[in-house]
Structure 1
Amino acid sequence: MSPNRRPVCAWTLSALALALAVGGDAFASPIDSAAPEGPRHEFSYSTTARLDDFGPWPLPGLTFQGVQGRTVQSASPFPAASFPDALPEGSTVDFPLGRLVIDAAPQGITEGSGTFRIEVRVEAVDGVRLADPLLATIQGFASVVLRADGEPMLRYGVVGYEVHPPYTPPLPTAGHFAHDELSHSLLVPDLHHEFAASPGSSFSLDARLLSARIYHNPEPAAWLVFAAAITLAGARLRRNPA
């Protein structure tokens, strides 16, 4: 063995260690963990509905009653944006969105269906008011039959999506917002409901809040340092063959 081979190998390992130190999580992958841990936060928020985003609201007998100044405390976040097949108990918390209210039925029969948007506006975190509120937009839907001489029938819910488990939550997600290196998803396990109800009744629209640390892709600088380390090591080996 050449007397120069050992120092070259040692230098290569040192360069690799430097690349890992600079890159931080450059070689990390999402962690599938069923053990949420980390800080919990209090979110103060309000909700409003935009019933006419998709054209004239076709259900004059149905209105939305938003949440005002509600505060919830998040559960501990998952370590990274990767989730188990079934969420452990206590990893989500209730996140009310508002209520649909059936007004007095008109004469005759009115029926129809409509789609609307709910805007979630997080105005304070841990009691500190935000200069720029955190926003999430959720799509809701409702269909109703209003009868002047009988019980209305109401079917309603929130639109949720399952995209790519385990890198997204294992339940339909209606929206999300991010703050302080944490991503907060609004889950909707119950996508729709159907009730017979009298005029003046109201029905809740609810979500579940799930938190996770934001997973960062490898930093380009880390890969450049690593590539430079390998290139220089190769050059040293060529200059000092065995």
Structure 2
Amino acid sequence: MATEASPAAPAAAVPDPTETVARVVEATAHLLATAEQFDDAAVREPSLLPGWTRGHVLTHTARNADAQVRLLTWAATGTVTPMYASREARDSEIEAGADRSAEQLLADLREACERFATQAARMEPEHWTTLIENRRGFPQPAAWIPWWRLEEVLVHHVDLDAAFSPAHWPPSFTDPELAMVTARFNDPAHTDESPAFRLHAEDSDLFYGVRADPQDASAPLVRGPSAALFAWLIGRSNGDGLNVEPHGALPKPPGWK
């Protein structure tokens, strides 16, 4: 059992883009292997996302690859090319593609992922330092783009509800994600009000705080594996298996704005 003297988690550093691209390629191969198992009936079935079928998730994951290609192009050329023309345009593309056949959905996803991998391979080292804007309009170095794509592939693979769960996420993914999501939860500009609580990722022995100092023993402490904690924070789990000290109900994480 870890003690309260264990270290608070460090802030997430900008990931190495070349290393992350390799991880995206690997995660994409697993995602495509899952998608290959779906027939037309399976892609009409509900995903884990309310109101979305598996067809919605597959279409969104493909269109996100194209959106990330636009950001890579921005970084490489200096020509401003936002991820999406608008939120409405993004949503329309997803709805328009969701009812396609399993074969069409798979082909689209595979081709979009190949476009991302091809454009990422063309990036020169200096391109990764270019400031682009994420989907919320905040300037970020282009080195973050591969990590954003890794998030999409790993999280939406879980959303397909097809034998890939948060337990398959490695700590090398969930530990940085916990640092990032708790930092965002601590920024009132981006999240709703929230009770104060702390997290203890037992597999990495790191502590995080949501509206609380990670070492503040007066705030409730939620313990569990990093993947289970991250899944609960982003709404991919109801928190089953997590432990709360003092004993009681899990606090409600803030919602995204």
TM-score tier by shorter-chain length is: under 0.3
The structure in which a higher percent of residues are strand is 1
Q: Which has the higher contact order (CA 8 A, sep 6+)?
A: 1
Report the structure, 1 or 2, having the larger helix content. Answer: 2
TM-score (norm 2): 0.20
